[in-house]
């Protein structure tokens, strides 16, 4: 088939709405496969279904791939030797090949109206049969196989609507190979005569257009979702009918992405119900319906891609975090699962947290800076980087960092009542007054020196460490939980630390029953 050719793969979505994360995974696997083998990744827009076209969907597809870091070698924006890459701009090509199939006896004209087909279907169902447009009926209907040639020509010339259907062979075993699922055999008697071309809109169906385009664009591997597996026999037979079997691509059909519960294909409804996105980017439908996107929900593209790569593919090791270059090196279709992959929204969050932790303090500080600007807070780059270094282990998204770190930029104006009742009592207010006096004498406010000074002072006075430190934390943070107090004090500096100690002593008092 295609073993000696340069690898060329295509991602061929239809602009019928936002790109589902399952579609992104298909694009990703094609991209990884091509890059590993020094091949080309082509984006082709399959917009032949004019009734389902959605404005904005095509631009959404391209923006989503760009955000994910999936670069396109040939496509509607990039151009290339096989342009145009939008099927609606290739209309004249398809009729030529459809007529070629009619001339070779592999296809035929059908003039049945939708009303006639509905009547025949209803009649079959009334008799307890399932209607199929196949070898049993095509010679009895208004087709070029049953009508005289001059009648066929007359109908075409007078403008009757027609379709061209593939003439499925009768009782033939079609032997196929899938790179993921192995050998597959299907008998043609179980298949119907699919429509290839429609005169009503002068457009081909998916089956004809994708075969013709894959051939003309020299596609070597078709990696697509398993929903297309039932179409594989027809596609094999189309390649044979055109005389292209020797150059037809290898096929690989990817497993479905399943709901978190495991039962069925992951849908937008599941995301709406369980509170996670199923689209890479936010989408606003022409009717104004808004759908969440991973980008707008705060996910890093590299985390999203890493998570998607492992939904259906297993590297064969314990490694879970992969850069895109590591994915390219490790990916193989042989390790793609045949069965569906269950999506776990918590695992998606875990991936984002890992990538957040891996970012440098400076990079995170730059991402966090707009939040500070919005809140009117001025802080040096050094301080913001220190804060990121201290708190990034606790965050999953950049959007969570303000709530986690606000006490490092703004002093508490009130104190957690439960913590105050528990720790601001007895001797603790007096101890905090003493701690305040101690810290006023400390010149080196580095965390190691401050910790040494405080812990020696606590030991020398035989104070209960937990009581003192929790009261100290309440004073500085406003609650009894948080990171290391000495790291906090290092970031705040001596003057701010003393101000906060003075504030709690003023507000809550220093007396026995304060």
Residues identified as active-site = 268
Smallest Cα–Cα separation from 278: which of 12, 500, 471, 23? 23
Contacts with 419 (C-beta within 8 Å, 6 or more apart), sequence order: 470, 474, 479, 480
Longest CA–CA separation in the chain, Å: 112
SS3 180: coil
Bond preceding residue 309 cis, omega within 30 of 0: no
Smallest Cα–Cα separation from 293: which of 56, 29, 20, 17? 20
The C-alpha atoms of residue 32 and residue 362 are separated, in whole angstroms, by: 30
CB neighbourhood size of 48 (10 A) = 24
Q: Output the CA torsion sign for 256, 261, 267, 271.
A: negative
SS3 95: helix
Torsion, CA 447, CA 449, CA 450, CA 453, rounded to 10:
150
Q: By the 8 A CB rule, do 64 and 19 touch?
A: yes
Residue in the structure block whose two tokens are 């507000």: 507
Q: By the 8 A CB rule, do 100 and 242 touch?
A: yes
Q: By the 8 A CB rule, do 168 and 193 touch?
A: yes
Give the HSE-up count for residue 494: Cα atoms under 13 Å, Cβ half-sphere. 14
SS3 513: coil
What string of DSSP letters covers 271-334? Answer: HHHHT--SBSS-EE-TT--EE-BTTTTT--HHHHHHHHHTSSB--SSS-----HHHHHHH--GG
Q: By the 8 A CB rule, do 250 and 222 touch?
A: yes
SS3 12: coil
Token pair of 161, please?
């609507």
Smallest Cα–Cα separation from 196: which of 97, 130, 116? 97
């Amino acid at each position: 088939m295609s073993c000696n050719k340069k690898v060329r793969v295509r991602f061929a979505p239809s602009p019928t709405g936002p790109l589902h994360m399952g579609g992104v995974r298909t694009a990703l696997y094609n991209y990884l496969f091509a890059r590993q083998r020094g091949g080309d990744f082509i984006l082709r827009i399959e917009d032949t279904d004019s009734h389902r076209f959605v404005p904005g969907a095509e631009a959404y597809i391209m923006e989503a791939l760009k955000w994910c870091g999936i670069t396109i070698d040939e496509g509607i924006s990039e151009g290339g030797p096989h342009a145009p890459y939008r099927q609606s701009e290739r209309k004249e090509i398809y009729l030529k090949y459809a007529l070629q199939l009619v001339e070779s006896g592999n296809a035929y004209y059908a003039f049945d109206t939708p009303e006639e087909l509905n009547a025949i279907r209803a009649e079959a169902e009334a008799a307890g049969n399932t209607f199929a447009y196949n070898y049993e009926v095509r010679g009895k209907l208004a087709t070029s196989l049953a009508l005289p040639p001059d009648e066929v020509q007359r109908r075409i010339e007078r403008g009757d609507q027609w379709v061209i259907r593939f003439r499925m062979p009768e009782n033939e075993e079609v032997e196929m190979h899938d790179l993921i699922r192995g050998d597959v055999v299907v008998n043609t008697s179980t298949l119907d005569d699919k429509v290839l071309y429609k005169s009503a809109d002068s457009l081909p169906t998916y089956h004809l257009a994708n075969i013709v385009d894959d051939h003309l664009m020299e596609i070597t591997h078709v990696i697509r979702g398993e929903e297309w597996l039932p179409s594989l026999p027809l596609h094999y037979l189309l390649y044979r009918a055109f005389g292209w079997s020797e150059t037809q691509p290898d096929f690989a059909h990817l497993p479905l992405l399943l709901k978190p519960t495991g039962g069925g294909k992951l849908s937008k409804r599941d995301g709406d119900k369980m509170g996670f996105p199923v689209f890479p980017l936010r989408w606003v439908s022409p009717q104004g319906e808004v759908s969440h996107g991973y980008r707008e929900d705060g996910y890093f593209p590299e985390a999203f891609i890493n998570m998607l790569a492992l939904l259906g593919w297993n590297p064969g090791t314990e490694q879970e975090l992969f850069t895109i270059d590591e994915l390219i090196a490790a990916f193989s279709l042989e390790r793609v699962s045949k069965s569906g992959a269950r999506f776990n929204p918590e695992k998606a969050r875990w991936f984002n947290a890992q990538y957040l932790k891996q970012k440098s303090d400076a990079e995170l500080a730059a991402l966090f800076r707009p939040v500070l600007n919005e809140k009117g807070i001025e802080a040096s780059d050094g301080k913001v980087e220190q804060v990121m270094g201290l708190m990034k282990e606790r965050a999953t998204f950049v959007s969570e960092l303000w709530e986690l770190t606000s006490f490092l930029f703004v002093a508490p104006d009130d104190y957690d009542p439960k913590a105050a009742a528990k720790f601001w009592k007895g001797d603790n207010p007096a101890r905090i007054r003493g701690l305040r006096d101690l810290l006023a004498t400390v010149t080196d406010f580095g965390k190691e020196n401050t910790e040494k000074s405080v812990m020696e002072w606590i030991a020398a006075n035989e104070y209960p460490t937990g009581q003192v430190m929790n009261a100290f934390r309440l004073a500085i943070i406003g609650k009894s939980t948080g990171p290391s107090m000495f790291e906090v004090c290092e970031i705040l500096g001596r003057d701010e630390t003393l101000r906060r100690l003075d504030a709690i002593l003023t507000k809550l008092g220093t007396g026995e029953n304060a």
